[in-house]
Amino acid sequence: MYDYCLDSSHLPKFNLPDCNGNILMWKAFWDVFDVEVHQKTKYSNATKFNFLNSRLSGEAKALLLGLVPSNDNYTVAVALLKKRFGQPAKIIMAHIRALVALPKPGNDRNSLRKFVDALESHIRGLE
């Protein structure tokens, strides 16, 4: 039997995803951020706020304007973002609108593949 010890210094580095305020991308962003930063007790809430703010742009970043990075404001920031972008009913409606707005594919294989990929992506978002 072998014992393996996984040292985190040997794990590959990766960048956290960004959130620009696209409600369709919120869950993908938050799921990673939640595990990699939000649930980590080794970081103060002020540090988590800075991590969070560094990954935001567009509407998501604008939502937090005026909040100073602090332990208390991290909780406020997360609540604001979840209220705006994390509502299941709004996410479902956004996927439905995107499905209805999908452009009709052409007759070539590439066009059909892009259409099917987009269709499947939105269907997965509804699951």
Residue boundaries of the structural domains of the chain: 21-86, 89-126
**pLDDT for 45:** 95
Cβ within 8 Å of residue 43, ≥6 positions away: 37, 51
**pTM for the complete prediction?**
0.77
According to DSSP, the residues that pair with 19 across neighbouring strands are 56
Residue 46's φ and ψ, nearest 5 degrees, are -65, -40
**pLDDT for 10:** 53
- b (16+ CB within 10 A) / e for 58-72: eebbebbeeeebeee
Contact indicator for 54, 65 with CB cutoff of 8 Å:
no
Please list the pLDDT of the chain residue by residue as tens digits (127 residues): 444 444 445 555 678 889 999 999 999 899 999 999 999 999 999 999 999 999 999 999 999 999 999 999 999 999 999 999 999 999 899 989 988 998 998 889 998 999 899 888 888 887 7
H/E stretch holding 118 reads: helix 109-126
The first and second tokens of residue 62, run together, are 């604008």
**pLDDT for 12:** 58
Report the candidate in 58, 50, 51, 65 with the shortest Cα–Cα distance to residue 16: 51
**pLDDT for 110:** 92
